[in-house]
């Protein structure tokens, strides 16, 4: 069952346990509600703009939902339990530290690393073979020349500064 509560700091808005946001509009003769349509940001979160006479303020829906039901969460992240940034149901949200939220992205597989990183230049297979050669006794200089990887990058891989999550 969908439960509606007043949005925190915005009494003219309501937020539901299903992640919906609506505005309460009062005229001289009647009161009605208008559902807001959230939009998706570049990083995948849903946003809404809440308006007053003095202007508008933008909120992520997940933070608005969680804080309206549970109070302000200063210094804490609002985390999605299932890793989906668009699932803003109350039962899918929790507050946690930044470290806890960052461990979730590895658990959910949404961490941008390796081939999914936009600045990456190498395939995982190439780095895996590079690490295998190092493990089998080849030095960094030889392995770098063999695989076409610059020496500074090779030393970073060898010292587990970069690509440390890829285990041979």
* pLDDT at 147 exceeding the cut of 80: yes
Residue-wise pLDDT for 11-64, tens only, equals 899 999 999 999 999 888 999 999 999 999 998 999 999 998 888 899 999 999
Domains of the chain, start order: 4-108 (3.90.75.20), 114-158 (no CATH)
Residue-wise pLDDT for 95-142, tens only, equals 999 999 888 888 887 777 787 787 888 998 999 999 999 999 999 999
The two three-digit tokens of residue 136, written as one number = 């089998």
**What is the pLDDT, as a whole number, of residue 145?**
94
Q: Classify residue 160 as left (phi > 0), alpha (psi -120 to 50) or beta.
A: left
| 55-60 vs 77-80, strand pairing mode | unpaired
**What is the pLDDT, as a whole number, of residue 90?**
96
What are the respective helix, strand and coil percentages of the chain, to the nearest 5? 35, 25, 40
**What is the pLDDT, as a whole number, of residue 112?**
77
Q: Model pTM?
A: 0.72
């Amino acid at each position: 069952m969908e439960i509606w509560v007043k949005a925190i700091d915005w009494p003219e808005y309501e937020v539901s346990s299903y992640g919906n946001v609506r505005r309460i509009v009062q005229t001289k003769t009647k009161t009605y509600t208008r559902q807001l349509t959230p939009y998706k940001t570049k990083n995948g979160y849903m946003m809404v703009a809440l308006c007053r006479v003095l202007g508008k303020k933008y909120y992520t829906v997940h933070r608005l939902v969680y804080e309206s039901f549970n109070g302000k969460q200063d210094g804490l992240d609002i985390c999605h339990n299932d890793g989906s940034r668009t699932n803003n149901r109350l039962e899918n949200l929790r507050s946690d530290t930044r470290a806890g939220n960052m461990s979730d992205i590895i658990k959910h597989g949404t961490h941008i690393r390796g081939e999914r990183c936009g600045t990456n230049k190498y395939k995982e297979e190439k780095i895996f073979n590079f690490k295998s050669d190092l493990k089998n006794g080849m030095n960094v200089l030889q392995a770098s020349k063999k695989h076409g990887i610059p020496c500074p990058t090779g030393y970073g891989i060898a010292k587990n500064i970069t690509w440390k999550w890829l285990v041979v």
